[in-house]
A = this chain, B = another copy of it.
Amino acid sequence: MSKLTDVPKRILIGRALRSDRLGETLLPKRIALPVFASDPLSSVAYAPGEVLLVLSIAGVSAYHFSPWIAVAVVVLMFTVVASYRQNVHAYPSGGGDYEVATTNLGPRAGLTVASALLVDYVLTVAVSIASGIENLGSAVPFVVQHKVLCAVAVIVLLTLMNLRGVKESGKLFAIPTYVFVGGVFVMIAWGAFRGLVLGDSMRAPTADYHIKAEHQGLAGFALVFLLLRAFSSGCAALTGVEAISNGVPAFRKPKSKNAATTLAMMGLLAVTMFCGIIALAMTTKVHMAENPATDLLHNGVGLGSGYVQNPVISQVAEAVFGKGSFLFVVLAAATALVLFLAANTAYNGFPLLGSILAQDRYLPRQLHTRGDRLAFSNGIVLLAGAASLLTIIYGADSTRLIQLYIVGVFVSFTLSQTGMVRHWNRHLATETDDAKRRHMMRSRAINAFGAFFTGLVLVVVLVTKFTHGAWVALMGMCIFYATMTAIRRHYDRVAEEIAAPESPAADDDLTRPSRVRSVVLISKIHRPTLRALAYAKLMRSDTLEALTVNVDAAETKALREEWERRGIDVPLKVLDSPYREVTRPVIEYVKSLRAESPRDAVSVIIPEYVVGHWYEHLLHNQSALRLKGRLLFTPGVMVTSVPYQLASSEAAKLRARRRQEWSAPGAVRRGPAAERAKATPAAKESPAAKD
């Protein structure tokens, strides 16, 4: 049935790769780190540059504030990491921020977090790929000259990979992530060595440029505002930190402890890289501007629209390693690769969150069950479509896309941390053991500080970035929120409508029909109809008749004669059809049966061909399908298909089987289903999960 709509997709993406089912291995820390941290670690590739860009508005002198902004980001990072370490201990089921917010603050807060995260996933794809293209472009100019095209191509590639169900593998993540982290550390170390020990003067390619300040000599409130904006941009380094809290079930035991440790490692690596890059950028005198074409001057002359502003990390690498050197190219490639992997995490996280939301009936139910490839595919295509749209609208410019990015992250941080405070309050109300109480109070303090700080940052981000694009992200959140509320409302309404009454006698609708009258639809006598007749007889209904519609008098006559000749012991009823229709006479006959004896049910048995190809499908069953569709609206009727498998159906059967054996995106980070089930008791507190 779903075959027809599936065809264009199948042509495009081919068949799922045969792979081990769901990869039931748990992740050791050394693999979990790259799997979950490629997103936050990769953000150091663009976050430092964004800080410098914003500061450049007040001229190069404002660059001196950058270490202070770095310090603020580091403090924020430690706060967030410390907060989430509490989360992974308290909620080992992997529901993440959505679960924490729903459980402690109610479904609306949960849905807000979910909307924010969904928007975030879209932006993770758009920002990471745009930044990856820019980094790749510093080594391969062609790429940056065809920025939008290349970015969309990478999105399409990732989409096809995920639609085909290429399994996320720990190793795939580990190598580029460790090469990237290693490369940045080598760069920082070598840069420090050259600068401090050898006393080399390393100069970035933009070291000799001058910045034309848009607002020279900012002071007072305006300066504070600018610094806050720069800080907001630097906060891009924090995106993706929450990923580990969604993935606790995928860790080896002790799960929560390992997850917390990995979180700490991730935080430490991120801040070191962030600060190191900022420091090197200061040392090598990197100059960046929001509008490099006009605001960056070389010998007093603007650089013009042909100038491509390379990312900070690549300018620094050029200064430290030398332009075009082996290490420079390796680092650029690893940076791009890690950024693409970060985008890929969104492909895994989006359907995963969708599946959790589907469980709470905010999204179509079929997203909940695994292995439902079609539902996952729709999610992936939606994600890719939205990300491509943003990429095209914003010209694959990471700086412009980042303006949209951080709102969602901090909405989810703030609500999650607030929820954690409530969580500890509730537990403290019943806990009597003093040691445990002290522990809880410490956790509560951490989360409270986290909630306060991230909330503050959220306000700063909203104030400083709203007009720069944050409103787009907010609008996206509203759309997700409204859609999911509507879906939930629909399901609730239906659930109410179909709820079974406690005493069946009280309900008209459920008065048992007393008899069943079966009707087998016949067009010709052949194997499918004979099989349908044989099956119908087996069912021993109260009455059984065969039904044919007289579309062509000669054919009907021939059918009647053959019926008698073969001595088929089921009465054959012929319906007249003055207009050569099939559906209407059958529907009217069924209705007349019901009118005769309203307490009888009618069972309509339809022989159906099962064919192998969609175009064959167009040649068969069309009248049957239409009739079935109409019969479903007729009360008191059940419709039975008796399939007859044509030889060509074998091919389709194999195809359907293969299609089922794909690996759902997010399988690795989600952990095995059994592990998840074990860990879910906490989730049962959720009001949404109860009904």
**Residues of A at under 8 Å CB distance from B?**
1-5, 21-22, 359, 364-366, 368-372, 374-375, 487, 490-491, 494-495, 497-500, 504, 509-510, 512-513, 515-516, 525-531, 534-535, 537-541, 551-554, 566, 578-584, 601, 603, 605, 608-610, 616, 618-620, 622-623, 625-626, 628-633, 635, 637-647, 649, 652-653, 656, 660, 673-674, 677, 680, 684
Check B540 against A540 for contact (C-beta < 8 Å).
yes
Cα distance, A391 to B252, chains bound together (Å): 67
Check A660 against B584 for contact (C-beta < 8 Å).
yes
Check A554 against B684 for contact (C-beta < 8 Å).
yes
Cα distance, A608 to B1, chains bound together (Å): 15
Check B551 against A369 for contact (C-beta < 8 Å).
yes
Check A632 against B619 for contact (C-beta < 8 Å).
no
Residues from chain B with a CB closer than 8 A to the CB of A642 are: 638
Cα distance, A298 to B601, chains bound together (Å): 84
Check B608 against A632 for contact (C-beta < 8 Å).
yes
Residues from chain B with a CB closer than 8 A to the CB of A500 are: 525-527, 529-530, 566
A635's contact among B551, B581, B622, B645, by CB below 8 Å, is which?
B645
Q: Which of A375, A605, A642, A674 has the most chain B CB within a 10 Å cutoff?
A: A642
Cα distance, A513 to B530, chains bound together (Å): 12
Q: A365-B622, A498-B646, A629-B1 are in contact. Are A580 and B673 (CB under 8 A)?
A: yes
Cα distance, A344 to B581, chains bound together (Å): 24
A366's contact among B541, B578, B622, B639, by CB below 8 Å, is which?
B622
Cα distance, A551 to B674, chains bound together (Å): 11
Check B527 against A499 for contact (C-beta < 8 Å).
yes
How far in angstroms is the closest Cβ of chain B from A162?
18
Can you give 30 contacting A-B residue pairs, CB < 8 Å?
A1-B1, A1-B629, A2-B626, A21-B579, A359-B552, A365-B620, A365-B622, A366-B622, A369-B581, A371-B584, A490-B619, A494-B646, A497-B646, A498-B644, A498-B646, A500-B527, A509-B527, A510-B527, A510-B534, A516-B538, A516-B539, A554-B680, A581-B660, A608-B632, A610-B633, A632-B643, A633-B645, A638-B642, A639-B643, A640-B641
Check B578 against A673 for contact (C-beta < 8 Å).
yes
Residues from chain B with a CB closer than 8 A to the CB of A618 are: 364
Q: Which residue of chain B is the closest to A504 with respect to CB atoms?
A: B530
Cα distance, A660 to B639, chains bound together (Å): 20
Q: A2-B626, A538-B513, A647-B497 are in contact. Are A490 and B616 (CB under 8 A)?
A: yes
Check A609 against B494 for contact (C-beta < 8 Å).
yes
Q: Which residue of chain B is the closest to A583 with respect to CB atoms?
A: B660
Residues from chain B with a CB closer than 8 A to the CB of A684 are: 554
Check A491 against B579 for contact (C-beta < 8 Å).
no
